[in-house]
Amino acid sequence: MDEGLSDGHRRVIGSGMLIVDAALVRMLNLLENRTATAAMNVIEGGVSEQEREYIRTRAQELQALVVRFAHKYDLQPSRRNLRRILVADASQVWVTLEDCRPSRMGGYGAMSASSAESLETDVQNMLLIANELRGLLGN
């Protein structure tokens, strides 16, 4: 451990390593197609199998360096509670869906009654599930 760094230095460096680590995990997950199917965020384009293998190898090498770096400078990992993450995401879903209700869109111009009715029904169906998730998670 490097004794020449203050706790403040370690916090700043540790925050940077969190960003680096998260980016590397996202890269590796994308390369391995380990992402959940998303309806509104479609990843297009690609890399060749040779590029994919090179990126994977280099990202893994960089991850190993991050581990050694964290150990050398006594950087503590961020510990996050899964339930709190899920509660936050479920709440974000609920708030966003509430904002999609026709009654909340008055500032965007007129909407036909039939469109408003259809939109309200669709949003309400999604809100039922979102509220169920929030209830399950104790929100």
Which residues constitute the domain of residue 19?
A: 7-72
In this predicted structure, the answer to whether residue 92 has a pLDDT above a threshold of 80 is yes
Whether residue 63 sits in one domain with residue 16: yes
Average pLDDT estimate for 21-37 = 83
Count of domains observed in the chain: 2
Q: Report yes or no on 1 lying in a domain.
A: no
Whether residue 67 sits in one domain with residue 48: yes
Decide which of 72, 97, 117 is a domain's last residue.
72
Distance in angstroms (rounded) separating the CA atoms of residues 87 and 137? 6
Q: Report yes or no on 25 lying in a domain.
A: yes
Whether residue 67 sits in one domain with residue 12: yes
Q: Report yes or no on 34 lying in a domain.
A: yes
Whether residue 65 sits in one domain with residue 91: no
* Range of lowest pLDDT (6-20, 46-60, 104-118): 6-20
In sequence order, what are the residues at sequence separation of 6 or more whose Cβ sits closer than 8 angstroms to the Cβ of residue 130? 90, 93, 94, 97
Q: Tell which wins on pLDDT, 1 or 17.
A: 17
Q: Report yes or no on 48 lying in a domain.
A: yes
**What are the helix (H) ranges across the chain?**
7-31, 49-72, 82-99, 113-136
End-to-end alpha carbon distance in the chain: 41
Q: What is the pLDDT of residues 96-133, one digit of tens each?
A: 999 999 898 888 888 788 989 999 999 999 999 999 99
Q: Exposed, middle or buried by CB within 10 Å (0-12, 13-18, 19+), for 63?
A: middle
